[in-house]
Amino acid sequence: MLAPTLAGITGIPGHILTHGLCGNRPCVAQIMSWAANRTTTRVEDRAYSLMGLLEVNMPMLYGEGKKAFHRLQLEIIRASNDQSIFVWDCMNDNLTGNIFADDPSFFEDCGRMEPMDQDEYIEFLKEDVPEEELDSIEDRLGTFPITNRGIHIWMFLRPYRDSRTLFEALLPCRLRPSEPPKTIDLVLSESNYYRGPGPGLWDLLSSTGTTSAGPPSPPPPMEIVPSLSQISRPATSQHHIQNR
């Protein structure tokens, strides 16, 4: 059979090559990883080739370059509440704080990523979340409503490395069974949170004096933005990705 050979080349699991995307569907991050090393004549086709696998539709606008991959992620968020879309990693120094990945290669290490059962995820949060709030977490994870302010997303934050400006967000996905939730780093600068702390972004924020260490404190409500744009801090624990 060709499935093992193709699986080694493409990174797509053999059972999916054999039986298709039926049954337990892979998470968004794992599907993205299949295109991590894909080359196309036009850069936009790296995004457009994933539309069918991710069950989204959007106009194909040749000439938009890497913006096509950002648009793809936005369309996925409109149709799915899978937070694994934020678990990408970038090894270069040019991290700008964008909540969206610039390229499918950022998902290269997500080939075994899997969604966590909500009960398991909530179990991991019990030490940090008051018991009276645990029942509401399932509802908060269930939707990514879109308003004129942007896309509202609930994430759990906790201080990181005894810093007042660096936090980790726990996402309901993991690399293998029994592992804890995957985390992403977020940097607080004034009232804004940015994806980080890549060396380039960390240097930028350090130059403004916003990364001083201090005793940990409960994280404020957050608003995640896909670009370095000014935002206001929301008054509730609902988080926002504002599409600007």
Render the burial of 111-126: b for 16+ CB within 10 Å, e for the rest: bebbbbeeeebbebbe
Confidence of residue 213 (pLDDT cuts 50, 70, 90): very low
Residue keyed to tokens 């940990």 = 216
- In this model, does residue 211 exceed pLDDT 60? no
Domain limits, the chain: 3-112, 115-241
Residue keyed to tokens 């991050």 = 29
Query: Is this model's pTM higher than 0.85 or not?
Result: no
- In this model, does residue 210 exceed pLDDT 90? no
| Helical (H) or strand (E) element with 195 | strand 192-196
Q: State whether residue 108 is helix, strand or coil.
A: helix
- Per residue in 53-75, pLDDT tens? 999 999 999 999 989 999 999 89
Q: What are phi and psi of 130, to 5 degrees?
A: -55, 140
Closest residue by Cα to residue 114 from 36, 191, 13, 210: 13
Render the burial of 29-38: b for 16+ CB within 10 Å, e for the rest: bbbbbbbbee
Position 131 scores a pLDDT of 74
Position 146 scores a pLDDT of 67
226 vs 67, higher pLDDT? 67
Q: What is the mean pLDDT of residues 183-207?
A: 65
Question: Residue 145, exposed/middle/buried by CB under 10 A (0-12, 13-18, 19+)?
Answer: exposed
Position 153 scores a pLDDT of 73
In the chain, the percentage of residues whose pLDDT exceeds 90 is 29
